[in-house]
Chain A
Protein backbone atom coordinates (compact mmCIF):
# COMPACT_ATOMS: atom_id res chain seq x y z
CA UNK A 1 0.00 0.00 0.00
CA UNK A 2 2.79 2.36 1.01
CA UNK A 3 4.66 1.59 -2.22
CA UNK A 4 1.51 2.04 -4.27
CA UNK A 5 0.96 5.47 -2.76
CA UNK A 6 4.55 6.45 -3.50
CA UNK A 7 4.43 5.25 -7.13
CA UNK A 8 1.03 6.51 -8.19
CA UNK A 9 -0.51 8.99 -5.74
CA UNK A 10 2.34 11.49 -5.38
CA UNK A 11 2.93 11.93 -9.13
CA UNK A 12 -0.81 12.18 -9.75
CA UNK A 13 -1.32 14.81 -7.06
CA UNK A 14 1.66 16.82 -8.28
CA UNK A 15 0.44 16.64 -11.87
CA UNK A 16 -3.01 17.87 -10.85
CA UNK A 17 -1.52 20.70 -8.79
CA UNK A 18 0.73 21.82 -11.66
CA UNK A 19 -2.10 21.75 -14.21
CA UNK A 20 -4.46 23.66 -11.92
CA UNK A 21 -1.94 26.12 -10.56
CA UNK A 22 0.16 26.98 -13.61
CA UNK A 23 -2.50 29.01 -15.47
CA UNK A 24 -2.75 31.22 -12.38
CA UNK A 25 1.04 31.51 -12.13
CA UNK A 26 1.24 32.33 -15.85
CA UNK A 27 -1.35 35.06 -15.29
CA UNK A 28 0.75 36.57 -12.53
CA UNK A 29 3.90 36.32 -14.65
CA UNK A 30 2.11 38.51 -17.21
CA UNK A 31 1.16 40.92 -14.44
CA UNK A 32 4.80 41.06 -13.36
CA UNK A 33 5.81 41.54 -17.00
CA UNK A 34 3.45 44.44 -17.54
CA UNK A 35 4.40 46.05 -14.25
CA UNK A 36 8.15 45.68 -14.85
CA UNK A 37 7.85 47.00 -18.42
CA UNK A 38 5.80 49.91 -17.09
CA UNK A 39 8.57 50.63 -14.62
CA UNK A 40 11.19 50.57 -17.41
CA UNK A 41 9.10 53.10 -19.31
CA UNK A 42 8.54 55.31 -16.25
CA UNK A 43 4.81 54.83 -15.95
CA UNK A 44 2.58 53.14 -13.39
CA UNK A 45 1.19 50.28 -15.45
CA UNK A 46 -1.92 48.44 -14.24
CA UNK A 47 -3.64 50.27 -11.42
CA UNK A 48 -7.39 49.74 -11.92
CA UNK A 49 -8.38 46.16 -11.06
CA UNK A 50 -7.59 45.55 -7.42
CA UNK A 51 -4.85 47.37 -5.51
CA UNK A 52 -1.94 48.14 -7.87
CA UNK A 53 -3.65 45.99 -10.54
CA UNK A 54 -3.31 42.88 -8.41
CA UNK A 55 -6.52 41.25 -9.65
CA UNK A 56 -5.93 42.06 -13.35
CA UNK A 57 -4.88 38.48 -14.35
CA UNK A 58 -8.14 37.10 -12.95
CA UNK A 59 -10.18 39.73 -14.81
CA UNK A 60 -8.23 38.89 -17.99
CA UNK A 61 -8.86 35.17 -17.54
CA UNK A 62 -12.61 35.73 -17.12
CA UNK A 63 -12.64 37.98 -20.18
CA UNK A 64 -10.86 35.36 -22.30
CA UNK A 65 -13.20 32.59 -21.18
CA UNK A 66 -16.32 34.62 -21.96
CA UNK A 67 -15.18 35.85 -25.38
CA UNK A 68 -16.97 34.57 -28.46
CA UNK A 69 -15.24 31.57 -29.99
CA UNK A 70 -14.58 32.47 -33.61
CA UNK A 71 -13.42 29.89 -36.14
CA UNK A 72 -12.70 31.34 -39.60
CA UNK A 73 -15.08 29.82 -42.15
CA UNK A 74 -12.23 28.81 -44.47
CA UNK A 75 -10.23 27.24 -41.68
CA UNK A 76 -9.49 23.57 -41.33
CA UNK A 77 -11.66 23.12 -38.24
CA UNK A 78 -10.11 19.93 -36.98
CA UNK A 79 -6.50 21.15 -37.10
CA UNK A 80 -7.58 24.60 -35.93
CA UNK A 81 -8.81 22.87 -32.77
CA UNK A 82 -5.82 20.52 -32.46
CA UNK A 83 -2.99 23.04 -32.81
CA UNK A 84 -3.37 25.10 -29.58
CA UNK A 85 -4.11 21.92 -27.63
CA UNK A 86 -0.89 20.38 -28.94
CA UNK A 87 1.14 23.45 -27.91
CA UNK A 88 -0.31 23.58 -24.41
CA UNK A 89 -0.23 19.86 -23.68
CA UNK A 90 3.42 19.45 -24.71
CA UNK A 91 4.46 22.57 -22.79
CA UNK A 92 2.73 21.42 -19.61
CA UNK A 93 3.92 17.81 -19.95
CA UNK A 94 7.51 19.05 -19.84
CA UNK A 95 6.87 20.10 -16.22
CA UNK A 96 6.75 16.43 -15.23
CA UNK A 97 10.53 16.05 -15.28
CA UNK A 98 11.51 19.41 -13.76
CA UNK A 99 13.30 18.87 -10.43
CA UNK A 100 11.56 21.50 -8.30
CA UNK A 101 13.21 20.20 -5.12
CA UNK A 102 15.19 17.25 -3.77
CA UNK A 103 12.01 15.14 -3.52
CA UNK A 104 9.63 17.32 -5.47
CA UNK A 105 9.40 15.94 -8.98
CA UNK A 106 6.68 14.07 -10.81
CA UNK A 107 9.10 11.60 -12.37
CA UNK A 108 12.88 11.33 -12.23
CA UNK A 109 13.46 9.50 -15.50
CA UNK A 110 16.92 8.68 -16.76
CA UNK A 111 16.40 10.60 -20.01
CA UNK A 112 14.93 13.69 -18.30
CA UNK A 113 16.49 16.35 -20.48
CA UNK A 114 15.80 14.36 -23.64
CA UNK A 115 12.11 14.23 -22.69
CA UNK A 116 11.95 18.02 -22.48
CA UNK A 117 13.77 18.45 -25.78
CA UNK A 118 11.50 15.98 -27.56
CA UNK A 119 8.37 17.58 -26.12
CA UNK A 120 9.49 21.04 -27.20
CA UNK A 121 10.15 19.70 -30.70
CA UNK A 122 6.60 18.34 -30.82
CA UNK A 123 5.36 21.71 -29.51
CA UNK A 124 6.70 23.41 -32.67
CA UNK A 125 4.03 21.49 -34.59
CA UNK A 126 1.34 23.35 -32.65
CA UNK A 127 2.67 26.64 -33.98
CA UNK A 128 3.05 25.45 -37.58
CA UNK A 129 -0.33 23.74 -37.76
CA UNK A 130 -2.12 26.65 -36.08
CA UNK A 131 -0.76 29.05 -38.67
CA UNK A 132 -1.64 26.78 -41.56
CA UNK A 133 -5.12 25.83 -40.33
CA UNK A 134 -6.17 29.49 -39.99
CA UNK A 135 -6.01 29.79 -43.79
CA UNK A 136 -4.76 33.37 -43.62
CA UNK A 137 -1.61 34.92 -45.08
CA UNK A 138 -0.46 36.57 -41.88
CA UNK A 139 -0.86 33.34 -39.94
CA UNK A 140 0.96 31.24 -42.53
CA UNK A 141 3.88 33.70 -42.77
CA UNK A 142 4.06 33.88 -38.99
CA UNK A 143 4.11 30.14 -38.59
CA UNK A 144 6.73 29.69 -41.33
CA UNK A 145 8.96 32.25 -39.67
CA UNK A 146 8.40 30.70 -36.30
CA UNK A 147 9.17 27.17 -37.46
CA UNK A 148 12.33 28.28 -39.27
CA UNK A 149 13.47 30.21 -36.21
CA UNK A 150 12.75 27.42 -33.74
CA UNK A 151 14.43 24.76 -35.88
CA UNK A 152 17.53 26.95 -36.37
CA UNK A 153 17.95 27.90 -32.76
CA UNK A 154 17.23 24.40 -31.54
CA UNK A 155 20.60 23.42 -33.03
CA UNK A 156 22.47 26.11 -31.07
CA UNK A 157 20.51 25.22 -27.96
CA UNK A 158 21.33 21.55 -28.48
CA UNK A 159 25.08 22.26 -28.63
CA UNK A 160 24.91 24.29 -25.41
CA UNK A 161 22.95 21.54 -23.66
CA UNK A 162 25.36 18.85 -24.86
CA UNK A 163 28.25 20.84 -23.34
CA UNK A 164 26.39 20.89 -20.03
CA UNK A 165 25.56 17.19 -20.24
CA UNK A 166 29.20 16.38 -20.94
CA UNK A 167 30.20 17.93 -17.64
CA UNK A 168 27.28 16.38 -15.77
CA UNK A 169 27.65 12.90 -17.25
CA UNK A 170 23.93 12.07 -16.98
CA UNK A 171 20.60 12.93 -18.60
CA UNK A 172 18.61 12.59 -15.37
CA UNK A 173 17.56 15.99 -14.03
CA UNK A 174 18.17 15.06 -10.38
CA UNK A 175 21.45 13.47 -11.42
CA UNK A 176 22.57 16.74 -13.01
CA UNK A 177 21.83 18.68 -9.81
CA UNK A 178 23.61 16.08 -7.68
CA UNK A 179 26.62 16.17 -9.99
CA UNK A 180 26.89 19.91 -9.32
CA UNK A 181 26.80 19.25 -5.58
CA UNK A 182 29.54 16.61 -5.87
CA UNK A 183 31.66 18.78 -8.16
CA UNK A 184 31.12 21.67 -5.69
CA UNK A 185 30.46 24.13 -8.50
CA UNK A 186 27.59 25.31 -10.66
CA UNK A 187 28.20 24.14 -14.21
CA UNK A 188 27.95 27.69 -15.58
CA UNK A 189 31.28 28.41 -13.84
CA UNK A 190 33.00 25.04 -14.13
CA UNK A 191 35.86 24.08 -16.49
CA UNK A 192 37.86 27.18 -15.48
CA UNK A 193 34.95 29.38 -16.50
CA UNK A 194 34.82 27.94 -20.03
CA UNK A 195 31.32 26.59 -19.44
CA UNK A 196 30.08 30.16 -19.23
CA UNK A 197 30.11 30.31 -23.06
CA UNK A 198 27.54 27.50 -23.48
CA UNK A 199 25.50 29.11 -20.73
CA UNK A 200 25.34 32.40 -22.65
CA UNK A 201 24.62 30.57 -25.93
CA UNK A 202 21.83 28.68 -24.20
CA UNK A 203 20.34 31.85 -22.74
CA UNK A 204 20.18 33.54 -26.15
CA UNK A 205 18.84 30.44 -27.91
CA UNK A 206 16.24 30.02 -25.17
CA UNK A 207 14.83 33.49 -25.87
CA UNK A 208 14.64 32.66 -29.57
CA UNK A 209 13.06 29.25 -28.85
CA UNK A 210 10.24 30.84 -26.90
CA UNK A 211 9.62 33.50 -29.59
CA UNK A 212 10.21 36.34 -27.14
CA UNK A 213 11.52 39.81 -27.92
CA UNK A 214 14.02 40.58 -29.46
CA UNK A 215 13.37 37.38 -31.42
CA UNK A 216 9.57 37.76 -31.61
CA UNK A 217 9.41 37.94 -35.41
CA UNK A 218 6.73 35.24 -35.64
CA UNK A 219 4.33 37.64 -33.99
CA UNK A 220 5.81 40.94 -35.12
CA UNK A 221 2.67 43.03 -34.80
CA UNK A 222 3.85 45.81 -37.11
CA UNK A 223 4.21 43.37 -40.02
CA UNK A 224 2.08 40.31 -39.31
CA UNK A 225 -0.75 41.55 -37.04
CA UNK A 226 -0.14 38.76 -34.49
CA UNK A 227 1.69 36.11 -36.50
CA UNK A 228 0.56 32.53 -36.29
CA UNK A 229 -2.25 33.23 -33.82
CA UNK A 230 -3.83 36.12 -35.74
CA UNK A 231 -7.08 34.21 -36.27
CA UNK A 232 -7.24 32.82 -32.76
CA UNK A 233 -9.31 34.50 -30.08
CA UNK A 234 -10.80 33.79 -26.69
CA UNK A 235 -9.97 30.51 -25.05
CA UNK A 236 -7.98 29.08 -27.95
CA UNK A 237 -5.74 32.13 -27.93
CA UNK A 238 -5.43 31.74 -24.16
CA UNK A 239 -4.10 28.22 -24.71
CA UNK A 240 -1.33 29.51 -27.01
CA UNK A 241 -0.58 32.17 -24.48
CA UNK A 242 -0.40 29.61 -21.68
CA UNK A 243 1.91 27.48 -23.80
CA UNK A 244 4.23 30.45 -24.38
CA UNK A 245 4.57 31.15 -20.67
CA UNK A 246 4.88 27.46 -19.82
CA UNK A 247 7.69 27.22 -22.38
CA UNK A 248 9.40 30.24 -20.83
CA UNK A 249 9.21 28.56 -17.45
CA UNK A 250 10.55 25.28 -18.83
CA UNK A 251 13.54 26.76 -20.68
CA UNK A 252 14.39 28.81 -17.59
CA UNK A 253 14.17 25.64 -15.52
CA UNK A 254 16.58 23.85 -17.85
CA UNK A 255 19.02 26.76 -17.53
CA UNK A 256 18.70 26.63 -13.75
CA UNK A 257 19.06 22.86 -13.54
CA UNK A 258 21.87 22.45 -16.02
CA UNK A 259 23.94 25.57 -15.36
CA UNK A 260 22.86 27.21 -12.10
CA UNK A 261 22.71 24.38 -9.59
CA UNK A 262 18.99 23.54 -9.65
CA UNK A 263 17.56 23.51 -6.15
CA UNK A 264 20.99 23.86 -4.50
CA UNK A 265 21.67 27.08 -2.65
CA UNK A 266 24.68 29.16 -3.72
CA UNK A 267 27.90 27.70 -2.26
CA UNK A 268 26.03 24.52 -1.26
CA UNK A 269 29.18 22.91 0.12
CA UNK A 270 30.17 25.69 2.53
CA UNK A 271 28.48 24.86 5.82
CA UNK A 272 29.14 28.30 7.35
CA UNK A 273 26.88 29.94 4.76
CA UNK A 274 23.96 27.63 5.46
CA UNK A 275 22.23 29.81 8.04
CA UNK A 276 22.62 33.15 6.30
CA UNK A 277 21.56 31.76 2.90
CA UNK A 278 18.94 29.17 3.84
CA UNK A 279 17.28 31.03 6.72
CA UNK A 280 18.12 34.74 6.77
CA UNK A 281 17.91 35.32 2.99
CA UNK A 282 14.41 33.92 2.26
CA UNK A 283 13.02 35.23 5.54
CA UNK A 284 14.46 38.67 4.81
CA UNK A 285 13.20 38.60 1.22
CA UNK A 286 9.62 37.68 2.13
CA UNK A 287 9.73 39.97 5.16
CA UNK A 288 10.73 42.88 2.94
CA UNK A 289 7.91 42.14 0.47
CA UNK A 290 5.51 41.87 3.43
CA UNK A 291 6.57 45.25 4.77
CA UNK A 292 6.21 46.69 1.26
CA UNK A 293 2.65 45.34 1.08
CA UNK A 294 1.89 46.84 4.51
CA UNK A 295 3.10 50.27 3.34
CA UNK A 296 1.02 49.83 0.16
CA UNK A 297 -2.02 49.04 2.31
CA UNK A 298 -1.66 52.31 4.18
CA UNK A 299 -1.55 54.27 0.92
CA UNK A 300 -4.74 52.72 -0.50
CA UNK A 301 -8.02 54.45 0.22
CA UNK A 302 -10.72 51.92 -0.75
CA UNK A 303 -11.59 49.45 2.02
CA UNK A 304 -11.50 46.37 -0.28
CA UNK A 305 -8.06 47.33 -1.58
CA UNK A 306 -6.84 47.81 1.96
CA UNK A 307 -8.16 44.36 2.86
CA UNK A 308 -6.45 42.64 -0.08
CA UNK A 309 -3.15 44.34 0.67
CA UNK A 310 -3.47 43.37 4.34
CA UNK A 311 -4.02 39.71 3.41
CA UNK A 312 -1.00 39.85 1.07
CA UNK A 313 1.17 41.43 3.76
CA UNK A 314 0.11 38.80 6.29
CA UNK A 315 0.78 35.99 3.81
CA UNK A 316 4.25 37.31 3.00
CA UNK A 317 5.17 37.82 6.66
CA UNK A 318 3.79 34.33 7.40
CA UNK A 319 6.01 32.89 4.66
CA UNK A 320 8.97 34.76 6.15
CA UNK A 321 8.21 33.23 9.56
CA UNK A 322 7.80 29.75 8.03
CA UNK A 323 11.33 29.91 6.65
CA UNK A 324 12.64 30.42 10.21
CA UNK A 325 11.16 27.13 11.47
CA UNK A 326 13.86 24.47 10.84
CA UNK A 327 11.42 21.65 10.03
CA UNK A 328 9.36 23.60 7.50
CA UNK A 329 12.52 25.21 6.17
CA UNK A 330 14.03 21.81 5.34
CA UNK A 331 10.97 20.98 3.25
CA UNK A 332 10.61 24.21 1.28
CA UNK A 333 14.15 25.54 0.89
CA UNK A 334 14.87 23.43 -2.23
CA UNK A 335 11.79 24.63 -4.14
CA UNK A 336 12.51 28.17 -2.88
CA UNK A 337 15.97 28.30 -4.46
CA UNK A 338 14.75 26.64 -7.65
CA UNK A 339 11.84 29.05 -8.10
CA UNK A 340 13.97 32.03 -7.03
CA UNK A 341 16.54 31.28 -9.75
CA UNK A 342 13.80 30.68 -12.32
CA UNK A 343 12.23 34.02 -11.37
CA UNK A 344 15.56 35.80 -11.87
CA UNK A 345 15.83 34.33 -15.38
CA UNK A 346 12.19 35.20 -16.14
CA UNK A 347 12.94 38.77 -15.02
CA UNK A 348 15.81 38.81 -17.51
CA UNK A 349 13.39 37.69 -20.25
CA UNK A 350 11.21 40.73 -19.46
CA UNK A 351 14.31 42.89 -19.24
CA UNK A 352 15.41 41.89 -22.78
CA UNK A 353 11.96 42.73 -24.04
CA UNK A 354 12.16 46.17 -22.50
CA UNK A 355 15.69 46.79 -23.79
CA UNK A 356 16.40 45.35 -27.24
CA UNK A 357 14.69 46.31 -30.50
CA UNK A 358 13.41 43.46 -32.66
CA UNK A 359 15.82 41.81 -35.11
CA UNK A 360 15.22 41.84 -38.84
CA UNK A 361 14.62 38.39 -40.31
CA UNK A 362 17.98 38.08 -42.09
CA UNK A 363 19.77 39.33 -38.96
CA UNK A 364 17.99 36.68 -36.93
CA UNK A 365 19.11 33.91 -39.27
CA UNK A 366 22.66 35.31 -39.42
CA UNK A 367 22.91 35.38 -35.64
CA UNK A 368 21.58 31.83 -35.45
CA UNK A 369 23.59 30.10 -38.15
CA UNK A 370 26.76 32.17 -38.44
CA UNK A 371 27.40 33.03 -34.78
CA UNK A 372 25.43 30.91 -32.33
CA UNK A 373 25.99 27.48 -33.92
CA UNK A 374 29.75 27.87 -34.58
CA UNK A 375 30.24 29.30 -31.09
CA UNK A 376 28.25 26.41 -29.64
CA UNK A 377 30.34 23.88 -31.58
CA UNK A 378 33.59 25.55 -30.56
CA UNK A 379 32.55 25.64 -26.91
CA UNK A 380 31.64 21.95 -27.12
CA UNK A 381 35.06 20.99 -28.51
CA UNK A 382 37.03 23.18 -26.10
CA UNK A 383 35.08 21.96 -23.07
CA UNK A 384 35.48 18.37 -24.22
CA UNK A 385 39.25 18.81 -24.48
CA UNK A 386 39.44 20.44 -21.04
CA UNK A 387 37.40 17.60 -19.53
CA UNK A 388 39.62 15.03 -21.22
CA UNK A 389 42.72 16.76 -19.81
CA UNK A 390 41.26 16.87 -16.30
CA UNK A 391 40.50 13.16 -16.32
Chain B
Protein backbone atom coordinates (compact mmCIF):
# COMPACT_ATOMS: atom_id res chain seq x y z
CA UNK B 1 0.00 0.00 0.00
CA UNK B 2 2.65 2.47 1.11
CA UNK B 3 5.00 1.07 -1.54
CA UNK B 4 2.42 1.65 -4.27
CA UNK B 5 1.77 5.20 -3.14
CA UNK B 6 5.51 5.90 -3.02
CA UNK B 7 5.96 4.35 -6.45
CA UNK B 8 3.44 6.75 -7.97
CA UNK B 9 5.01 9.72 -6.19
CA UNK B 10 8.50 8.87 -7.43
CA UNK B 11 7.21 8.06 -10.91
CA UNK B 12 5.44 11.42 -11.04
CA UNK B 13 8.67 13.14 -9.89
CA UNK B 14 10.66 11.37 -12.59
CA UNK B 15 8.27 12.01 -15.47
CA UNK B 16 7.14 15.47 -14.38
CA UNK B 17 10.76 16.50 -13.86
CA UNK B 18 11.62 15.20 -17.31
CA UNK B 19 8.82 17.13 -19.01
CA UNK B 20 9.65 20.34 -17.15
CA UNK B 21 13.34 19.89 -18.03
CA UNK B 22 12.64 20.30 -21.72
CA UNK B 23 9.95 22.97 -21.45
CA UNK B 24 11.54 25.55 -19.11
CA UNK B 25 13.08 28.64 -20.72
CA UNK B 26 15.84 29.22 -18.19
CA UNK B 27 18.63 26.66 -18.39
CA UNK B 28 19.13 26.70 -14.63
CA UNK B 29 15.47 25.88 -14.05
CA UNK B 30 15.79 23.03 -16.53
CA UNK B 31 18.79 21.73 -14.61
CA UNK B 32 16.85 21.83 -11.35
CA UNK B 33 14.01 19.84 -12.86
CA UNK B 34 16.50 17.35 -14.27
CA UNK B 35 17.83 16.95 -10.72
CA UNK B 36 14.27 16.33 -9.50
CA UNK B 37 13.86 13.69 -12.17
CA UNK B 38 17.14 11.98 -11.20
CA UNK B 39 16.12 12.01 -7.53
CA UNK B 40 12.84 10.38 -8.52
CA UNK B 41 14.80 7.60 -10.21
CA UNK B 42 16.85 7.18 -7.02
CA UNK B 43 13.58 6.79 -5.12
CA UNK B 44 12.45 4.09 -7.56
CA UNK B 45 15.74 2.24 -6.97
CA UNK B 46 15.06 2.41 -3.23
CA UNK B 47 11.63 0.86 -3.73
CA UNK B 48 13.31 -2.00 -5.62
CA UNK B 49 15.54 -2.61 -2.56
CA UNK B 50 18.59 -1.45 -4.50
CA UNK B 51 19.81 0.89 -1.75
CA UNK B 52 23.38 0.99 -2.94
CA UNK B 53 22.33 1.94 -6.44
CA UNK B 54 20.08 4.69 -5.07
CA UNK B 55 22.92 6.20 -3.02
CA UNK B 56 25.37 6.04 -5.91
CA UNK B 57 22.76 7.53 -8.25
CA UNK B 58 22.43 10.58 -6.02
CA UNK B 59 26.16 10.97 -5.41
CA UNK B 60 27.20 10.59 -9.06
CA UNK B 61 24.36 12.20 -10.97
CA UNK B 62 23.12 14.90 -8.60
CA UNK B 63 26.34 15.57 -6.70
CA UNK B 64 28.78 15.10 -9.55
CA UNK B 65 27.36 15.51 -13.01
CA UNK B 66 24.63 18.05 -12.24
CA UNK B 67 27.04 20.23 -10.24
CA UNK B 68 29.28 20.35 -13.31
CA UNK B 69 26.25 21.09 -15.51
CA UNK B 70 25.28 24.00 -13.29
CA UNK B 71 28.87 25.18 -13.28
CA UNK B 72 28.87 25.45 -17.05
CA UNK B 73 25.36 26.91 -17.28
CA UNK B 74 26.14 29.63 -14.77
CA UNK B 75 29.13 30.81 -16.81
CA UNK B 76 27.23 30.86 -20.10
CA UNK B 77 25.46 34.00 -21.25
CA UNK B 78 21.88 33.00 -20.56
CA UNK B 79 20.21 36.05 -22.12
CA UNK B 80 21.54 35.12 -25.53
CA UNK B 81 20.64 31.46 -25.08
CA UNK B 82 17.06 32.41 -24.21
CA UNK B 83 16.67 34.24 -27.54
CA UNK B 84 17.59 31.22 -29.61
CA UNK B 85 15.09 28.77 -31.02
CA UNK B 86 13.70 26.60 -28.30
CA UNK B 87 13.51 23.19 -29.90
CA UNK B 88 16.14 22.12 -32.38
CA UNK B 89 14.71 20.53 -35.51
CA UNK B 90 15.22 16.91 -34.58
CA UNK B 91 11.51 16.30 -34.33
CA UNK B 92 11.47 13.16 -36.50
CA UNK B 93 14.39 11.43 -34.79
CA UNK B 94 12.82 12.16 -31.41
CA UNK B 95 9.45 10.83 -32.58
CA UNK B 96 11.07 7.66 -33.89
CA UNK B 97 12.83 7.07 -30.54
CA UNK B 98 9.62 7.61 -28.58
CA UNK B 99 7.71 5.29 -30.93
CA UNK B 100 10.36 2.58 -30.51
CA UNK B 101 10.17 2.78 -26.71
CA UNK B 102 6.35 2.82 -26.81
CA UNK B 103 6.29 -0.28 -29.05
CA UNK B 104 8.66 -2.04 -26.67
CA UNK B 105 6.44 -1.23 -23.70
CA UNK B 106 3.31 -2.32 -25.60
CA UNK B 107 4.94 -5.60 -26.61
CA UNK B 108 5.98 -6.24 -23.02
CA UNK B 109 2.48 -5.56 -21.69
CA UNK B 110 0.77 -7.69 -24.35
CA UNK B 111 3.03 -10.68 -23.70
CA UNK B 112 2.74 -10.40 -19.90
CA UNK B 113 5.60 -10.34 -17.40
CA UNK B 114 5.58 -14.12 -17.04
CA UNK B 115 7.16 -14.66 -20.48
CA UNK B 116 10.37 -12.88 -19.63
CA UNK B 117 13.19 -13.72 -17.24
CA UNK B 118 13.49 -10.67 -15.01
CA UNK B 119 16.41 -9.75 -12.75
CA UNK B 120 15.83 -10.93 -9.20
CA UNK B 121 15.74 -8.24 -6.53
CA UNK B 122 17.85 -8.98 -3.47
CA UNK B 123 15.75 -10.66 -0.83
CA UNK B 124 15.00 -8.83 2.40
CA UNK B 125 16.11 -10.56 5.57
CA UNK B 126 19.12 -12.08 3.84
CA UNK B 127 22.35 -11.74 5.75
CA UNK B 128 24.22 -10.05 2.96
CA UNK B 129 23.34 -6.41 2.38
CA UNK B 130 22.71 -4.87 -0.98
CA UNK B 131 26.19 -3.31 -1.30
CA UNK B 132 27.82 -6.68 -0.58
CA UNK B 133 25.72 -8.31 -3.30
CA UNK B 134 26.67 -5.68 -5.83
CA UNK B 135 30.38 -5.89 -5.03
CA UNK B 136 30.37 -9.69 -5.08
CA UNK B 137 28.81 -9.84 -8.54
CA UNK B 138 30.85 -6.91 -9.84
CA UNK B 139 34.21 -8.35 -8.80
CA UNK B 140 33.56 -11.95 -9.85
CA UNK B 141 31.07 -12.31 -12.67
CA UNK B 142 31.56 -8.93 -14.30
CA UNK B 143 35.22 -8.31 -13.50
CA UNK B 144 36.36 -7.93 -17.11
CA UNK B 145 33.72 -5.34 -18.14
CA UNK B 146 34.39 -3.51 -14.88
CA UNK B 147 38.12 -3.30 -15.53
CA UNK B 148 37.54 -2.30 -19.16
CA UNK B 149 35.28 0.51 -17.99
CA UNK B 150 38.00 1.70 -15.58
CA UNK B 151 40.56 1.77 -18.43
CA UNK B 152 38.09 3.75 -20.55
CA UNK B 153 37.64 6.26 -17.73
CA UNK B 154 41.40 6.54 -17.25
CA UNK B 155 41.86 7.23 -20.96
CA UNK B 156 39.15 9.90 -20.77
CA UNK B 157 40.82 11.55 -17.78
CA UNK B 158 44.24 11.62 -19.47
CA UNK B 159 42.61 12.92 -22.64
CA UNK B 160 40.92 15.72 -20.72
CA UNK B 161 44.22 16.75 -19.12
CA UNK B 162 46.05 16.68 -22.47
CA UNK B 163 43.37 18.80 -24.13
CA UNK B 164 43.08 21.29 -21.28
CA UNK B 165 46.77 21.87 -20.65
CA UNK B 166 48.71 23.72 -23.29
CA UNK B 167 52.16 22.84 -21.99
CA UNK B 168 52.67 19.45 -20.41
Contacts and interface: CB of A to CB of B under 8 A. Distances in A.
Interface of A: 76, 78-79, 82, 109-111, 114-115, 117-122, 124-125, 128-129, 132, 140, 143-144, 147, 151, 154, 170-172
A247 to B, nearest CB: 14
Contacts of B64: 121, 151
B54 to A, nearest CB: 8
A111 B59 CA distance: 13
Contacts of A78: 29
B71 A128 contact: yes
Contact of B129 (A125, A143, A144, A170): A170
B62 interface: yes
Contacts of B7: none
B99 interface: no
Q: Ordered nearest first, which 9 A-B pairs have the shortest CB separation?
A: A121-B63, A114-B55, A118-B58, A110-B129, A111-B51, A118-B59, A132-B74, A111-B55, A118-B55
Most buried by B among A110, A154, A172: A110
A111 B130 contact: yes
Contacts of A109: 51
A115 B67 CA distance: 18
B62 A151 contact: no
A118 B67 contact: no
A110 B128 CA distance: 10
B66 interface: yes
B131 A111 contact: yes
B63 A118 contact: yes
A110 B130 contact: yes
A183 to B, nearest CB: 19
Interface of B: 26, 28-29, 32, 35, 39, 51-52, 54-56, 58-59, 62-64, 66-67, 70-71, 74-75, 129-131
Given A110-B129, A111-B51, A114-B52, A79 B28 contact: yes
B67 A128 contact: yes
Nearest to B129: A110
Contacts, number: 77
A114 B63 CA distance: 12
Interface of A is mostly: helix
Contacts of B35: 125
Given A128-B71, A129-B28, A171-B131, A114 B66 contact: no
Nearest to A150: B67
A122 B32 CA distance: 11
Given A76-B28, A79-B32, A129-B70, A111 B52 contact: yes
A79 B28 CA distance: 9
Contact of B51 (A76, A110, A122, A129): A110
A210 to B, nearest CB: 16
B59 A117 contact: yes
Given A117-B59, A129-B70, 10 more contacts: A78-B29, A111-B54, A114-B51, A121-B58, A121-B59, A121-B62, A121-B67, A122-B63, A128-B74, A132-B74
A119 B56 CA distance: 11
B45 to A, nearest CB: 11
A129 B28 CA distance: 9
Contacts of A129: 28, 32, 70
Contacts of B75: 144
Contacts of A132: 28, 70, 74
B120 to A, nearest CB: 18
Contact of A117 (B29, B52, B55, B129): B55
Nearest to A116: B55
A96 to B, nearest CB: 14
A114 B56 contact: yes
Nearest to B62: A122
Contacts of B58: 118-119, 121-122
Nearest to A170: B129
B64 to A, nearest CB: 7
A125 B74 contact: no
Nearest to B52: A111
B59 to A, nearest CB: 5
Contact of A82 (B32, B63, B66): B32
A115 B55 contact: yes
Contact of A125 (B26, B56, B66): B66
Contacts of A119: 58
Contacts of B71: 128, 144, 147
Given A110-B129, A171-B129, A171-B131, A124 B67 contact: yes
